[in-house]
A and B are shown apart, each in its own frame.
Chain A
């Protein structure tokens, strides 16, 4: 790192300038309500003069030698390795690797990604065994939170430029990455990939042919459900079987309905364990859900088949001709289970699960992957910084199936109208909340909640029994 002072100064100035340019480019989208235009970082110069509330502060920070990412782009860390561990395997892994390829080529940093289906089980062992990867990708923030408590996660507050982060992320995302560390709150990770979970998938072509219209309110949706039942089909395709994780699909329903029938504050309390499952709010949400789930005219195969149908197989009747079912509430990743011949925007599409009570606006339930850093080295910092940019997920966004949580991922990256609307839905959301069961401690969120819902739907427990059983997960 020793350089002649003159050279260093000019380097600093160049970096400083490019830094500012990039930032002000991102800054254009600072107010995340702006739905359409999210200018790409590359077309920054145009925006330089426009908004610069951050310019001065960042100038100060960037004077030394630029951010790790800038240094990496200059080839400073060529030949270094960064290990990464996460749950993407197979197709997801290919998409992820193609997204980071350009970065690896430009910087010469080798990101060694290791994917495992047993990520959740293995990461604890690796961290405890002192073999933590440089970066780990957590699909369940609850898991990261429990590791963060041990103090083994690097606090990103001082590592990443906070101004840049606030410019590039919706505040909800940043709030969700703040967790309890060993001594006080830390920023435990950054969000890279997100899923939207408030989507109702439907066979678009057939739906239009049948003369149905997309419902705008919950009542309209129920009326349409009844209409479809009269026409001869159960409207909903629901399946919650998922091996050892059976029941998780039901939690998405409860969370979605919770957001639509009570305040976001109540939702947060519920997730934190302060509002018990036995409270009237939660009970009401399950009741609303039951009106669809337990009505044999509304569900393909009847309520009994819900528990035995794999969540990935559930939407299949929608693609028969004519469809045997019409709606499937599921995150955007479900499209990988759709038949390969079905085309997005033509054969299938989604509509937003309509609001129930107008006063709660248009809440959106999301899930996502949070990347945490375990080893603090300059090249790891650079990679982490890279992951906060939309560029790091560009190729994946293009291939479909994910939504970029960053604001500098422009909507025109999305190749289908469906994906674009999804990204916009997240940007426009009046309330953005993370999948509650992923935030709750494992015993509840991945334990009694799944099991209780399964018992309730299969009829082995009454609603009150099931809710008490779920609540008991908090107590032990």
Chain B
């Protein structure tokens, strides 16, 4: 009885901690979501929580002070004196708040508190991101032509074209390699494996320029093949290690009986290993897919920014304009770009959780 109770209370603690962690993660995401529906000026002025019904000061009676009031001296309003700073920030007087309405005209507003229940929301952020912004160009005769920019759809397909092969290729190669490292006996096996593990700690940044040089001489720059290979190479060490951990833990007896029945390595791999390691494949697939989907650096270097090959992350970065004047579009763009990873995650969620453990818990 006591043990059960203890387990129950520790479960509550774990759940509580998880709840707090979830809250910390979800809150800013929700804030971003709320902001994505707000007009830019509103985002600038108030926090996203103002979309909820809240109390705010509403304009009330206007008090006209004498025009020659010196702002650097204490200012008298309704028999009381206030400083200029107080009136700038708003100062409470009885039930209302005194604040400058027009400092230049020396009018003070007596604001009253009231409820604001309907938030000002707009779909403009999404419209601009999805269907492209409109650019105004002027002609020699002063007339304006409106040119429509491109939306996200092209970039979306580009990213998908890059992300799917860049996930499938490394996962496939890594599974072959992991099988070999786990179940084949060949000279230099350990050394090779250690080298692959060592590659995990090499930052990809050091490889950028040398690889780019090779790509230039091979003519792979800006091509899909080039970036598939780049993502494959950068992803392989981790994927191999991950798959090795999983495949090496499969029961040995299975392969032995298969061997006795005369199965070749390839048959074992395709008939036994692949079906058995679906959870691991799925979860490392999600990892790799997320990495490629969110990648900015590798795309920036190897594929560039031509509209025909531009990926989502780069398109979104460009949306804000050369000087960042359209920063508010990032809110909705971020959400749209999150949709794909979220969809993949929820579809393969059960594998994902299992896969997370695949790397850590052995046996």
Contact = CB atoms under 8 A, between A and B. Distances in A.
A336 B325 contact: yes
A118 B149 contact: no
Interface string A419-453: 00000000000000000000000000000000000
B209 A415 contact: no
B147 interface: yes
Interface centre among B104, B142, B212, B322 (most CB of A within 10 A): B322
Contacts of B102: 232, 322
B305 A115 contact: yes
Contacts of A118: 300, 317
Sort chain B's interface into a size bin: 35 or more
B221 interface: yes
Contacts of A210: 104
B243 to A, nearest CB: 32
Contacts of B324: 242-243, 312
Given A90-B149, A243-B324, A130 B212 contact: yes
Contacts of A218: none
Interface residues of A, number: 46
B106 A313 contact: no
Contacts of A343: none
B226 to A, nearest CB: 11
Contacts of A230: 71
A89 B329 CA distance: 14
Interface string A205-237: 000001000000000000000000111110000
Contacts of A19: none
Interface in B206-235: 208-209, 212-213, 215-217, 221
Interface in A74-126: 87-95, 98, 112, 114-118, 122, 125-126
B359 interface: no
Interface stretch (B18-26, B115-123, B132-140): B132-140
A87 B323 CA distance: 10
A101 to B, nearest CB: 11
B192 to A, nearest CB: 29
A413 B106 CA distance: 44
A122 B138 contact: no
A474 interface: no
Contact of B305 (A92, A114, A131): A114
Contact of A233 (B103, B317, B322): B103
A312 B140 contact: no
B138 A232 contact: no
B318 interface: yes
Contacts of A243: 324
Contacts of B215: 129, 131
A451 B77 CA distance: 43
B321 interface: yes
A232 B300 contact: no
Given A116-B314, A322-B102, A399-B137, A122 B301 contact: yes
B66 interface: no
B1 interface: no
B104 A98 contact: no
Contact of A128 (B209, B304, B314, B317): B209
Given A90-B322, A322-B102, A336-B321, A131 B306 contact: no
Given A89-B322, A116-B314, A117-B318, A130 B133 contact: no
B136 A333 contact: no
Contacts of B72: 297
B319 interface: yes
Nearest to A122: B300
Contact of A322 (B104, B133, B314): B104
25 contacts: A89-B318, A90-B319, A90-B320, A91-B133, A92-B321, A94-B135, A95-B135, A98-B137, A117-B317, A117-B318, A128-B212, A129-B209, A130-B212, A130-B213, A231-B104, A232-B104, A312-B325, A313-B44, A322-B102, A322-B105, A333-B323, A398-B138, A398-B139, A399-B138, A415-B138
Given A94-B149, A129-B301, 18 more contacts: A88-B322, A89-B317, A90-B133, A90-B318, A92-B321, A94-B137, A95-B137, A115-B318, A115-B322, A128-B212, A129-B212, A129-B216, A232-B102, A233-B104, A243-B324, A333-B323, A337-B323, A398-B139
Pairs A-B, 8 closest by C-beta atoms? A129-B212, A232-B103, A89-B318, A232-B104, A130-B216, A90-B321, A94-B135, A92-B322
